[in-house]
Each structure stands twice: as structure tokens, then as C-alpha cells.
Amino acid sequence: MDLAFTPEEQKFAGQVRAFVKANLPADVRDKVKNGKHLIRDDYMRWQQALGKKGWLVYTWPKKYGGPGFTPAERYIFENICAEEYAPGIIPFGTKMVGPVIYTFGSEEQKAKYLPPIRESTVWWCQGYSEPGSGSDLASLRTRAEKQGDHYIVNGSKTWNTMGHWADWIFCLVRTDPRAKPQEGISFLLIDMKTPGITVKPIIMMDGGHEVNEVFFDNVEVPVANLVGRENEGWTCAKFLLANERLGIAAVPQSKRGVEALKEIARAEQDNGKPLIENRSFAEKIADLEIQVTALEFTELRVLSQMAQGGQPGPEVSGLKIRGSEIQQRITELTMEAVGEYSAPYLPGLLWQGSNEEPVGPEYAHLAAPRYFNTRKTTIYGGSNEIQKGIISKMVLGL
Amino acid sequence: MDLSLSDEQKQLQDAAERFVRDKYAFENRRKIAATDKGFLPENWAQMAELGWLGMSFREEDGGYGGGPIETMIVMEQFGKGLVLEPFLPTVVLGGGMIAAAGSAAQKEALLAPMIEGKKQFAFAWLERQSRYNLADVSLKAEKSGAGYTLSGHKGVVYNAASADDIIVLARTAGGAREEKGLTLFVVDGKAKGLTRRDYPTQDALRASELTFDKVSVGADAVLGKVDGAFPVVEDAVDRAIVALCAEATGCMDAINAATLEYIKTRKQFGVPIGKFQVLQHRMVDCFTNAQEARSMTLMATLKIDDKDPVVRRKAASGAKVQIGKSGKFCGQSAVQMHGGMGVTDELSVSHYFKRLTMIDLMFGNQQHHLTRYSNLAMAA
């Protein structure tokens, strides 16, 4: 056991930093640094640069075009990207459907779908939750009926993140309504341009649009787009959720968030002194930093197990629980630091990238919307109540 | 001892409940929030007609002889409906300070028309550096001729755009953060040299940044004693805090009721999600929190007229700590138990959550009042 990076790892870190500095577009970096909202093109330019280098799908095995990073290299890569204000890599292609396709897909599917994910020329989105099926995902009702060489898909999906920018959607659909809930589900890939698909925005409590409802009205999907076997989609779904829960801990982003919070606490005044000198507030930040450190070392332990050849098991649910709570705590303390200047609501500045002057300090208008928006982290990807249920059953045997 | 409402107070409660039911159905509120002013002048006129704008003032000041209990009763209902009319800045803060410190002429010119619904106020105290220290004021008022010239900046001034007069806390003497040397001025909302930047707030109210560029006022604009405003302001803010606490209890009742209804009807895994013990316990904690908030609000309402200023301050700070804690717990829990629906703009839950969040930040958050309370308690 050794915590220090080897000379090779240090050399790798230098390469990553040099690459990010040279290839992350300056305007995208500034947007991330200043908490501005990114558009599809911002993500795409950065992801395509990573794609050219072969690092976009940094979690994939070499066999499918991944760089074959060791766990330490993954950790270094993720942290340096966050430190340099790179946007988070959109997970739907790279961390969700890509691994499902190379694990369960046919050779034709691998050849067709994997290269555009590696190069980020196609934007994927997720069709899992439905209005009646949230935590109880297996109760989903979107129906796919086989007619000749097509499935006819009818139903609706919700909490579809960034689907308004997507080229393709991967969906869980019900192919056998008579089977037990988990046994009649299939995993389908659907081109978003197919006639019969409607995307309707859902406005979040911070006023933003990032998620949608997606409606399917007699949508024809070639049978060739089925991944794995019919009625065995639940296996893909479980595999994907385990992967999703790993990235969801967002440790590098939280480390960056704690640093940003400290900067704000240095800038904010409290009785004529920097807020960071207020004992009570400083201790709250310290407590948060300790939580982040505990999360980071838990994630390192998981990565280390995976280096020995294991897949992430139910224990990664714990990462999601704590990771999401920590993300919320960061936004809560940031809003506390900003104080009453959190109150002004400036949608133009927040959403349309207008040049309107901020009210108070530059960072103030982001504090409350972020706090509001981040309430989602303990809900999405399987709510924390569901995660705790999984751990109590699968890990503790209760 | 008797903690029950009188018949008149019950009637007031019924009337306020009716007002919220008639005027503040959730979709109606959305429309009101989107109007130019962000509230309805006709609602304001109705509040005047119902006597709500004058009920908490003494009869010799032109009021109807009620007090903090009447304020609590209407504020609680306003919280249930997320009412947008500027009762707090106009009546509780503006009216309260004029009643406490104003001359007979000022009461005549300002308080009487306010009670009739013909004048609104805003209270400008906060500055960029102030955080929650009411004495951290640098906007200067300098003597010039018979009057004063005001120069400086004020931030997050609720209702400034609709206010006929703005009550401004300014420094006339003393150094930074000194409690002595502060003076209140009543400044015409359209005064020359006063510029506003208006914006909506996270919780759909309206506020403004104000810049004072050599704004001239006469000697009669001084409200109360020159250099002696601090105790008036501290007392008025404590009263506003208690009123906010009442509003927050209304918000908590409403958000808890909505959540309870949701977990009884939303089905997952073949049963209403309220059948899961983890949600049952959380829901129970929400109710307990709301009860504690209600108790502390009542305590503070009953003590805010106490002769001993330490008793008053501890009451206000104690209640604000409880409201901050309970409001956060009920708000966050409601969103969580609503799942994805809880984070959307569509349901009222997120709007109550936002209001509860902003109430914690107003006039000192939980941490600030915990520190203030502990300082008061340890000194005693």
C-alpha cells in the first residue's frame, strides 16, 4: 500500500494537465469557472478534443477503444479535469449506453454505435423513468410490440436529461406485459429523429430547463436496435445503474466546490472581517472538507478493488448517498455565505448568458438556484431511500 | 394563563383564511407574481378595508388597538398562501418604525394614509458588507443647510419599486459598525438622485438595489432621534422576525399537508409510498418540526412586547433559530418525498421550499441568531 503517486503516475498527471490546458476551449473553461450554463456545442467541443486523444471513454477497456487507465490514472484524470474547470463528461453515451453495448450488444451494434460515442459525434440520452415509475423502475409501462422486423413503441418517459439536445435515446420498454415486472423488459436504442417522438420541457424550480418528458406515439424501431435478448433488458438496466452510481459521487467536483466556497468565504464580510474567520462558519467548512475526504478515500478503495478485476457492487450505493448529500451541503453553505444577496433572481444572467450586471458579487446570483437545483441529487439515479434499501438488503442481508 | 384566541381574533383568522382561499389558489398566485408590481393593488385595498393594515397599531396612532397576536394571525395565513402583497415591509417594518419613533406630524402624514391603504413603504438597511449586522451601515447622511444629503448604496430593499416612501438607515456620526451615530430618514421614493435597479427575488417578491447620489432631504425627514436610530431599528427588526416566523409556520403547515397527501396517494411497488417506514418517520419529524416552530413563534409573539429588551431579543432570536431549522427540515423533506416532482416549478411544493429558504436568510439566518441568542443568554 502506498498513497504517493509513482514517478510514472506523476508523469501521466503532467501530460493530462498539459493536454487540458492546450485543448479545453477558453470560453468553455470560463463558463465552467463562473458557473454559467453550457450549451450542447460547449460540451461537444471539449468531448471531441478528448475523443481525438482517446481519453473520452477513459473508463472503457482497451479492447473497445478505451485508453486502459489504471484506477490511479482514472483518479488523476478526473481530478485534473475538474481542477482545470473542464465540463463534466456527459455520461449517457460514455458511462451508460456504451458499456451496455460492449457488454451485451452484437458485433454489428458495437461497430455501429461505439465509435461515435468514443469520438462524441452523437449525443445520447436516457429513457428510464416514467411518470408512474420512479423509484419502482421495474413497473415501467412504455410498450414495445413486435410487428415484423420492427417494434412499435408507445408510452412516455420522464426526467429525461438533455434529451432536447440528443440524437439517440436508450430506453427500457415492456415487451412482455404478462411476465413478472423485471422479466418482460427490453433495452432498445431509438433514433430521436424517428417520427412519433415528442420532447416536452419540464421547468425546474430554479427556472431552468434541463429535463424533459418524452412521448412515443407509434414509434417504429428496427428489431436490430434491441440490445441483448428480448425480455432480458433488466440485466442491462441493473448493470447500467451500478455504473451510474459510481460516477454520481462527483468527488472531484465536490473538491472544487469546497475550494470555491472557501474563496467566497474569504471575499464575504462579517462584522468587518472575512467570513472565513468566523469560527462557526470555518468549522462548518472544515466539517464539509472532512466529509469530502472520507468520500474520496471510499471511492479510492472501490477503484482499487476494481483494479483487481472486480465490478462495482452494491457498496457503490454508499458513494452515491454520501456524494449527493455532500453536493447539497456545498450549495447550502455557499448560499449561507452569500447571505441576503442570494435573494435577487436574475434569469437572464443565469440562463440566457446575458451581459446584465450581477447584483452584488458575481457569484451571488448562482447561490440559491444551485441550492435549489441540487436537491435533485438525492432523488435521481435511484433516490437515496432506494440506495439504502439496496445496501441493507444486498450488503447487510437484512 | 390562556393561549387560546379571542372571538375577535378567531374572526380575523377566518377572514384571513378566506382571503387566501379566494385570492391565492396556486395558479392565481403565479399570475399575481407575473404582474408589473408583483402583487395586486386591489388585494391591498381589500386588506385596508378589512382593517388589517391598522389592526396592530395603538388607537392613539390611528390604529385599531391590536398587537403582535393579530400580526401573527394574518402572517400565518399569508404563509399558507405565499401571499405577495408587501405587508411586512409596509406595515410591520415601515408602519412599526413610524409608530415607534415618528412625530405626531409624521404619524399623521405617513401612518394614517398607510392604514387606509394609500401609502406603502420599504425599509433600506442592508449594504453589500452588512451581512446580518444592523449597525454595519456606511451610507452617509451629511448635514447640509437645514436638512441632510444622503449618499451611498442599499441592497435587497423589498418593495422599493412600489413604495411611496423609503425608510433609510444612514450614518450621521461614528465609525463603521458603531451602533451610535445611525439615523433613520423618510425619503420620497421618487427623490432626485435616487436610482433603483429592480428585480424579482427567488421567492417571487420584488426588491431593488438603491443608489443615493446626493439625495437632499429636509430636517423633517428624520424619523426619531438623530444618531439614535439603532434601538428603534433593532426592535422593529425583531418584530419583523417574529412576523416572519408566523409566515413560516403557515408555509410549513401547507408544505407538510401537501407532502402528506402526496405520500398517501403516490404508489410505487404496489402501495402508497406512505406505507414505507422510512417515509413515515420522516413525515412524523416534519410534523414535530412544524409544531416546535409554531410553539416558538407563539412564545416570541407573546414576549415581543416585554419591558425587558433582553427578553424580547432572546425571544426573537430563539424563534428565528427554530424557524430556520424547522423550515429547512420541512422544506428539504417535502422536496425529497415528492421525488422528481418536488424539484419542478409545476407543483407548489418548490415554491414553499423557496420561500422557507429565503425566510431563513432574512434578518439573520439560523447561525446568526444562535450566536446572538447565546451571547444574550450567557451575559444574563
What is the CATH classification number for the domain harbouring B58?
A: 1.10.540.10
| Cβ contacts of B336 on chain A, cutoff 8 Å | 375, 378-379, 383-384
Classify the C-alpha dihedral B161-B360-B57-B87 as positive or negative: positive
Q: What is the pLDDT of residue A245?
A: 63
| Cβ contacts of A136 on chain B, cutoff 8 Å | 268-269
B250, B77 Cβ separation under 8 angstroms? yes
Is the model's pLDDT at A155 over the cut of 80? yes
* Together in a domain, B241 and B262: yes
Whether A308 contacts chain B with CB within 8 A = no
| Cβ contacts of B335 on chain A, cutoff 8 Å | 375, 379
Nearest to B202 among A339, A342, A383 (CB): A342
Contact B353 A372 (CB under 8 A): yes
DSSP 8-class letter at B202: T
Nearest to A341 among B156, B269, B340 (CB): B156
One-character DSSP codes across B120-175: -EEEE---TTTTT-TT----EEEEETTEEEEEEEEEEEETTTT-SEEEEEEESSSS
Any domain includes B374: yes
| Cβ contacts of A280 on chain B, cutoff 8 Å | 367, 370-371
Q: For chain B, give the longest Cα–Cα distance.
A: 79
How far apart, in whole angstroms, are the C-alpha atoms of residue B184 and residue B229? 6
Q: What is the pLDDT of residue A5?
A: 86
Domain boundary among the residues B119, B152, B180 is at: B119
Is the model's pLDDT at B380 over the cut of 70? no
pLDDT band at A306 (very low <50, low <70, confident <90, very high): confident
Percentage of residues in chain B having pLDDT higher than 70: 100
Query: What distances in angstroms separate CA A160 from CA A164, A199, A216, A307, one per listed residue?
Result: 9, 9, 13, 32
Any domain includes B185: yes
What is the CATH classification number for the domain harbouring B127?
A: 2.40.110.10
B194, B168 Cβ separation under 8 angstroms? no
| Cβ contacts of B362 on chain A, cutoff 8 Å | 340
pLDDT tens digits, one per residue of A52-91 = 999 999 999 999 999 999 888 988 999 999 999 999 999 9
Contact B201 A335 (CB under 8 A): no
Is the model's pLDDT at A247 over the cut of 70? no
Minimum CA–CA partner of B366 in chain A: A336
| Cβ contacts of A384 on chain B, cutoff 8 Å | 336
Helix/strand/coil for B289: helix
B327, B360 Cβ separation under 8 angstroms? yes
Measuring CA to CA, which residue among A92, A85, A110 is closest to residue A40? Answer: A92
* Together in a domain, B251 and B346: yes
Domain boundary among the residues B228, B255, B278 is at: B228
B224: left (phi over 0), alpha (psi -120 to 50) or beta: left
Q: Element (H or E) spanning A282, and its range?
A: helix A279-307
Minimum CA–CA partner of A367 in chain B: B202
Q: For chain A, give the longest Cα–Cα distance.
A: 75
Q: What is the pLDDT of residue A2?
A: 78
How far apart, in whole angstroms, are the C-alpha atoms of residue B380 and residue B323? 24
| Cβ contacts of B267 on chain A, cutoff 8 Å | 132
Q: How far is A167 from chain B (nearest CA, A)?
A: 24
> A359: which 3 cell numbers?
447584483
Q: What is the pLDDT of residue A183?
A: 94
Any domain includes B1: no
| Cβ contacts of B343 on chain A, cutoff 8 Å | 204-205, 372-373, 375-376, 379
Higher pLDDT, A189 or A303: A189
Nearest to A345 among B201, B332, B345 (CB): B201
Helix/strand/coil for B346: coil
Classify the C-alpha dihedral A61-A160-A236-A108 as positive or negative: negative
Any domain includes B114: yes
Burial of A149 (0-12, 13-18, 19+ CB in 10 A): exposed
A282, A276 Cβ separation under 8 angstroms? yes
Whether A390 contacts chain B with CB within 8 A = no
* Together in a domain, B217 and B256: no
B74, B52 Cβ separation under 8 angstroms? yes
* Together in a domain, B273 and B360: yes
Minimum CA–CA partner of A280 in chain B: B367
pLDDT band at A303 (very low <50, low <70, confident <90, very high): confident
How far apart, in whole angstroms, are the C-alpha atoms of residue A257 and residue A323? 12
pLDDT tens digits, one per residue of A343-387 = 999 988 887 777 888 999 999 999 999 999 999 999 998 899 999
Q: How far is A241 from chain B (nearest CA, A)?
A: 17
Any domain includes B166: yes
Query: What distances in angstroms separate CA B377 from CA A281, A304, B303, B304, B366, one per listed residue?
Result: 21, 52, 16, 16, 16
Q: How far is A271 from chain B (nearest CA, A)?
A: 7
The mean pLDDT of B242-265, rounded to a whole number, is: 98
pLDDT tens digits, one per residue of A218-236 = 999 999 999 999 999 999 9
Q: What is the pLDDT of residue B82?
A: 98
pLDDT band at A246 (very low <50, low <70, confident <90, very high): low
Measuring CA to CA, which residue among B182, B180, B174 is closest to residue B150? Answer: B182
Interface of B with A in 350-379 (CB under 8 A): 350-351, 353-354, 357-358, 361-362, 365, 367, 370-371
Is the model's pLDDT at A318 over the cut of 90? no
Structural domains in chain A plus CATH codes: 7-89 (no CATH), 124-231 (2.40.110.10), 248-395 (1.20.140.10)
Residue among B131, B134, B320 with most chain A CBs within 10 A, to mutate: B131
pLDDT band at A324 (very low <50, low <70, confident <90, very high): very high
How far apart, in whole angstroms, are the C-alpha atoms of residue B295 and residue B303? 12
Interface of A with B in 329-388 (CB under 8 A): 335-336, 339-346, 359-361, 368-369, 371-373, 375-376, 378-380, 383-385, 388
Contact A385 B207 (CB under 8 A): no
B170, B150 Cβ separation under 8 angstroms? yes
φ, ψ dihedrals at B26, nearest 5°:
-55, -45
A222-236, A245-259, B330-344 — which is least confidently predicted? A245-259
* DSSP H stretches of helix in chain B: 7-23, 26-33, 41-49, 68-81, 87, 96-101, 104-106, 112-115, 230-265, 277-303, 309-338, 348-361, 366-379
Note down the domain range covering B286: 231-379
Burial of A41 (0-12, 13-18, 19+ CB in 10 A): exposed
Q: State the pairing for strand pair A168-174/A124-127.
A: parallel
Contact B209 A372 (CB under 8 A): no
A335, A342 Cβ separation under 8 angstroms? yes
* Together in a domain, B62 and B200: no
Is the model's pLDDT at A243 over the cut of 80? no
Q: What is the pLDDT of residue A251?
A: 92
pLDDT tens digits, one per residue of B356-372 = 999 999 999 999 999 99
* Together in a domain, B153 and B180: yes
Domain boundary among the residues B213, B228, B243 is at: B228
pLDDT band at A3 (very low <50, low <70, confident <90, very high): confident
Residue A11 neighbours by CB under 8 Å, 6+ apart: none
pLDDT tens digits, one per residue of A94-152 = 999 999 999 999 999 999 999 999 999 999 999 999 999 998 999 999 999 999 999 99
Interface of B with A in 190-229 (CB under 8 A): 197, 199-203, 207, 209
What is the number of domains present in chain B? 3
Q: What is the pLDDT of residue B111?
A: 98
Percentage of residues in chain A having pLDDT higher than 90: 81
| Cβ contacts of B129 on chain A, cutoff 8 Å | 269, 272
> B151: which 3 cell numbers?
449618499
Q: How many CA atoms lie within 13 A of A188 on its CB side?
A: 30
φ, ψ dihedrals at B205, nearest 5°:
-90, 180
A144-148, A234-238, B49-53, B349-353 — which is least confidently predicted? A234-238
A240-254, B141-155, B208-222 — which is least confidently predicted? A240-254
Contact A359 B136 (CB under 8 A): no
Q: What is the pLDDT of residue A230?
A: 96
Whether A203 contacts chain B with CB within 8 A = yes
Counted across chains A and B, CB pairs separated by less than 8 A come out at 135
Is the model's pLDDT at B22 over the cut of 70? yes
* Together in a domain, B165 and B236: no
* Together in a domain, B204 and B97: no
φ, ψ dihedrals at A346, nearest 5°:
-120, 80
How far apart, in whole angstroms, are the C-alpha atoms of residue B176 and residue B163? 28
Any domain includes B305: yes
* Together in a domain, B361 and B245: yes
* Together in a domain, B217 and B147: yes
Higher pLDDT, A195 or A315: A195
Q: How far is B370 from chain A (nearest CA, A)?
A: 10
B276, A385 Cβ separation under 8 angstroms? yes
Any domain includes B2: no
* Together in a domain, B249 and B293: yes
Query: What is chain A's mean pLDDT, rounded?
Result: 93
Interface of B with A in 6-35 (CB under 8 A): none
Nearest to A346 among B126, B199, B357 (CB): B199
A308-322, B203-217, B310-324 — which is least confidently predicted? A308-322
Contact A344 B344 (CB under 8 A): no
What is the CATH classification number for the domain harbouring B343?
A: 1.20.140.10
Measuring CA to CA, which residue among A110, A132, A13, A6 is closest to residue A57? Answer: A110
Q: What is the pLDDT of residue A355?
A: 80
How far apart, in whole angstroms, are the C-alpha atoms of residue B33 and residue B41? 12
Contact A205 B354 (CB under 8 A): yes
Any domain includes B302: yes
* Together in a domain, B202 and B99: no
Contact B200 A376 (CB under 8 A): no
pLDDT band at A309 (very low <50, low <70, confident <90, very high): confident
Amino acid at B299: M
Residue A385 neighbours by CB under 8 Å, 6+ apart: A135, B276, B278, B279
Q: What is the pTM of this model?
A: 0.96
